[in-house]
Amino acid sequence: MSMFSAYRPRRLRRTEALRNMVRETKLSVDDFIYPLFVVHGQGVKKEIPSMPGNYHWSIDMLSAEAEEIAALGIPAVILFGLPAVKDEVGSENYDEQGIVQQAIQTIKEAASDLVVVTDVCMCEYTSHGHCGIVRDGYVQNDETLGYLAKAALSHAAAGADIVAPSGMIDGQVWAIREALDVNGYDNMAIMSYAAKYASSFYGPFRDAAQSPPEFGDRRSHQMDPANVREALREVALDIKEGADVVMVKPALPYLDIIRQVRDRFDYPVAAYNVSGEYSMVKAAAARGWLDERRVAMECLTSIKRAGADVIITYWAKDAARWLTPGER
Ligand code: PBG
């Protein structure tokens, strides 16, 4: 008697057509959100050294970029702004004429169907680089909430579709939801960075957003990488406070968290394929050690397979091309 089973898994792996037919997870351009970094100035399209292929854009350069992103079929962008001046309370964060507020208007004029998501946090705007009001070396929780609500409101007024609070300040989703509703923005959605870890994979981004903390780190508010049950509590809280989409961040080292959140909650799940995940592959590919296209698509597929409905990724434009039949 043979030890073989009658079933031979290789039968369905024999040709590309067979493999396509039984593939369980299929990436689509609809899955992606593309991050954009906007800066003051004129004629700026400056590559971010630690994130090759990603740029700092000035407002006057943004229309063409938004049109290109929309033409690729990418449904959404998420905006990060570099202010002209940083201060203790991050004033430009809620300035009507702030860099992100201008960017929202410009993108909406150029490509009105493109969903505009804004990151709502203080770290890019504060002189000390922390995600809130700092006193006695500690990020003050409740005092920060009002500033986050003001920033979210100013993004809503400028025409954003979704605000994405990323500071891991307790109660931030509730504070923003309430401010939006009271001011007539009850249709504005919130995508909360619900389970955001104190990760070292944000290194290249802090270069891009010029937002490293001047002292200390973010471990008093972002999550300990060792915890999973706590992530589920965070997600439950944010849903209770009014989040429409819940995010896990980073993505690849936290696929188990994505899976558990997917299984436990019937809400859309976003995953942030962060800067370090991207730059590691870029660096290895530049040395000829990895095939960027294949590794990137494998990473994105893994994130989707783990349960993400939405993937924020610096590969969005490349992946959109790679997913187009006939493109190389
Ligand atoms: C906070 C924010 C960060 C990222 C997105 N929003 C940085 C941080 O928390 O320190 C990181 C994204 C990335 O690494 O790609 N505004």
The predicted pLDDT at position 1 comes to 63
Pick the closest to residue 153 from 195, 110, 186, 197 (CA basis).
186
pLDDT at 327: 64
* Cis ω for the linkage preceding 225 (within 30 of 0): no
Q: Is there an atom of ligand 1 within 6 Å of 202 CB?
A: yes
Nearest-angstrom CA–CA distance, 67 and 69: 5
Distance 205 CA to ligand 1 centre (A): 6
Q: In this structure, are residues 195 and 247 in contact, taking their beta carbons and an 8 Å threshold?
A: yes
pLDDT tens, N- to C-terminus, the chain (328 residues): 678 889 999 999 999 999 999 999 999 999 999 999 999 999 999 999 999 999 999 999 999 999 999 999 999 999 999 999 999 999 999 999 999 999 999 999 999 999 999 999 999 999 999 999 999 999 999 999 999 999 999 999 999 999 999 999 999 999 999 999 999 999 999 999 999 999 999 999 988 988 888 888 899 999 999 999 999 999 999 999 999 999 999 999 999 999 999 999 999 999 999 999 999 999 999 999 999 999 999 999 999 999 999 999 999 999 999 998 876 5
Cα separation of 22 and 11, whole Å? 11
> How much is the pLDDT for 216?
86
Q: 248-284: b or e for each residue (b if 16 or more CB lie within 10 Å)?
A: bbbbbebbebbbbbbeebebbbbbbbbbbbbbbbbee
Q: What pLDDT score was predicted for residue 2?
A: 77
Residues sharing a CB contact under 8 Å with residue 184, sequence separation 6 or more, in sequence order: none
The neighbouring-strand residues paired with 87 are 126
Q: What is the pLDDT of residue 241?
A: 98
- Whole-number Å distance between alpha carbons of 272 and 45: 24
| Cα–Cα distance list, 127 to 38, 147, 165 (Å) | 18, 15, 19
Cβ–Cβ under 8 Å, residues 62 and 107: yes
249 is catalytic: yes
Q: Would you state the pLDDT for residue 104?
A: 98
Place of tokens 């050690």: 289
Centre of ligand 1 from the C-alpha of residue 13, in Å: 40
Is 196 in the active site? yes
Strands 133-135 and 138-140, sheet pairing = antiparallel
The partner residues of 55 in beta bridges, in order of sequence, read 47
Residue 284 alpha carbon to ligand 1 centre in Å: 22
Q: Does 121 sit in the ligand 1 pocket, CB within 6 Å?
A: yes
Residue nearest atom 16 of ligand 1, based on CA coordinates: 121
Could you tell me the CA-to-CA distances from 124 to 81, 212, 286 in Å, in that order? Answer: 7, 8, 29
In the prediction, which pLDDT does 125 show?
Answer: 94
- 51 in ligand 1 pocket by Cβ < 6 Å? no
Tell me which of 26, 46, 150, 196 is the catalytic residue.
196
Ramachandran bin of 90, using left for φ above 0, alpha for ψ from -120 to 50, beta for the remaining angles? left
CA dihedral sign of residues 89, 34, 165, 114: positive
Q: Up-side HSE of residue 191: CA atoms within 13 Å toward CB?
A: 26
Q: What is the pTM of this model?
A: 0.97
Residue pair 118/166 in contact (Cβ under 8 Å)? The answer is no
| CA 112–ligand 1 middle distance (angstroms) | 26
Burial 99-119 (b: 16+ CB within 10 A, else e): bbbbbbbbbbebbeebbbbbb
- Give the ligand 1 atom nearest the CA of 276: 14
